[in-house]
């Protein structure tokens, strides 16, 4: 099944089911008015939602309408928690060089994760107002999972069964603010503005063979101001999503609707390009001896879209946003 949340003036939006080709949608207020309402009752509402999804595919859903991604907020406009990992170790090792930080102990064996703000997620086409270009504005393309209830101490294998939905994320960063916050030992705050999400969240079965080993086996195509930036592959994720969810739940339970991110999609091969500017800058420093790529300027646009190996567009839709001066 595919889900989206249409903006309707409420905090959580209006839940709709979306057709396989992302062309049609239907609201399901009789089942769940919002996605955050449906997730705690997943076992109860899933059979009903599947019936409506089947009717939508068959062209038999009453009151179906054309799906407009421009009308969408994030699939979950707000969430109980946003927990973002760094599961692509290539990116993490490069970032150690970018921030001139010592190696994180057990980085290759234990996931690292921060808890970000989850009260104000941005939709796929929302402009992104930010305070200053001097803050080092950067996009970060990644994948994420939306969980059902997760018990404390869950195993990594069992945690995979707690995953309800998969999402595509742009986890914005302000790179000039990051080094100080990292050195405090308290983690990111100002360096992490509100994250953005592609319009559609999907159940794992919608990916078919592209969901294997708890990883999204798809390329994330990233463009900056219309130019190719990279298309790194999600399958190179060192820690799978079950391991990330289990790490988050080691000492506490997670409530339904928590989102766990993969961290920036990153590949060892330089030919894959990058999913964030900071990674390209550090590669330039290593390979060329100097940084050549600036961070974003106001008016710049980023576009992200996951695609299957055969080139078909992925099921999440497109993130396409501009950064603007706040105020």
Q: For residue 76, is it within any domain?
A: no
Per-residue pLDDT at 99: 64
For the domain that residue 212 is a member of, what is the CATH number?
A: 3.90.850.10
Distance of CA 193 to the CA centre of its chain: 14
Q: For residue 147, is it within any domain?
A: yes
Instruction: For residues 245 and 291, state if they share a domain.
Output: yes
Integer CA distances (angstroms), 78 to 1, 25, 42, 73, 201, in order: 20, 21, 18, 10, 14
What does the mean pLDDT of the chain come to?
A: 95
Please say whether the beta carbons of 203 and 5 come within 8 A.
no
Cβ neighbours around 192 below 10 Å, total:
22
Quick one: which H or E segment has residue 165?
A: strand 163-170
Per-residue pLDDT at 179: 81
Instruction: For residues 166 and 213, state if they share a domain.
Output: yes
Q: Which of 324, 327, 304 is nearest to 139 (CA)?
A: 304
Instruction: For residues 113 and 252, state if they share a domain.
Output: yes
State which of 71, 90, 108 marks the end of a domain. Answer: 71
Domain range spanning residue 227?
A: 82-325
**Alpha helices, DSSP H, located in 143-202:** 156-160, 178-184
Contacts (Cβ under 8 Å, ≥6 apart) of 19: 2, 25, 56, 57, 67
Quick one: which H or E segment has residue 247?
A: helix 241-248
Instruction: For residues 86 and 67, state if they share a domain.
Output: no
For residue range 108-131, what is the model confidence (pLDDT) as tens digits?
A: 889 999 999 999 999 999 999 999
For residue range 62-120, what is the model confidence (pLDDT) as tens digits?
A: 999 999 999 999 999 999 999 999 999 998 788 777 666 778 788 888 999 999 999 99
Q: How many domains does the chain have?
A: 2
Instruction: For residues 54 and 124, state if they share a domain.
Output: no
For residue range 244-262, what is the model confidence (pLDDT) as tens digits?
A: 999 999 999 999 999 999 9
State which of 50, 71, 92 marks the end of a domain. Answer: 71
Instruction: For residues 265 and 199, state if they share a domain.
Output: yes
For residue range 122-163, what is the model confidence (pLDDT) as tens digits?
A: 999 999 999 999 999 999 999 999 999 999 999 999 999 999
Q: For residue 111, is it within any domain?
A: yes
Instruction: For residues 60 and 125, state if they share a domain.
Output: no
Instruction: For residues 47 and 98, state if they share a domain.
Output: no
Q: For residue 128, is it within any domain?
A: yes
Instruction: For residues 216 and 286, state if they share a domain.
Output: yes
């Amino acid at each position: 099944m595919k889900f989206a949340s249409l903006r309707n003036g409420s905090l959580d939006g209006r839940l709709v089911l979306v057709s396989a080709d992302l062309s049609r949608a239907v609201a399901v207020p009789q089942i769940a008015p919002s996605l955050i309402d449906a997730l705690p009752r997943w076992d109860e509402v899933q059979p009903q939602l599947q019936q409506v999804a089947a009717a939508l595919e068959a062209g038999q859903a009453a009151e179906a309408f054309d799906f407009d991604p421009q009308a969408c907020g994030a699939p979950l406009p707000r969430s109980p928690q946003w927990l973002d990992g760094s599961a692509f170790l290539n990116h993490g090792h490069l970032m150690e060089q970018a921030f001139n930080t010592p190696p994180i102990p057990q980085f290759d064996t234990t996931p690292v994760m921060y808890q970000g703000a989850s009260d104000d997620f941005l939709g796929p086409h929302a402009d992104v107002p930010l305070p200053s270009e001097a803050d080092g504005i950067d996009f970060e393309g990644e994948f994420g999972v939306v969980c059902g209830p997760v018990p404390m101490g869950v195993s990594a294998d069992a945690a995979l069964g707690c995953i309800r939905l998969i999402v595509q994320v742009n986890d914005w960063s302000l790179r000039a603010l990051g080094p100080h916050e990292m050195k405090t030992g308290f983690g990111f705050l100002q360096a992490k503005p509100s994250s953005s999400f592609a319009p559609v969240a999907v159940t794992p079965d919608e990916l078919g063979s592209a969901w294997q080993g708890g990883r999204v086996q798809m390329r994330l195509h990233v463009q900056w101001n219309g130019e190719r930036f990279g298309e790194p592959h999600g399958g190179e994720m060192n820690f799978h999503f079950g391991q990330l969810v289990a790490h988050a739940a080691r000492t506490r339970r997670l409530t339904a609707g928590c989102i766990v991110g993969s961290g920036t999609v990153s590949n060892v091969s330089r030919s894959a390009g990058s999913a964030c500017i900071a990674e390209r800058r550090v590669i330039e420093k290593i390979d060329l001896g100097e940084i050549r790529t600036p961070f974003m300027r106001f008016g710049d646009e980023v576009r992200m879209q996951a695609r299957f190996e055969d080139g078909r567009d992925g099921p999440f839709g497109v993130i396409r946003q501009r950064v603007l001066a706040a105020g």
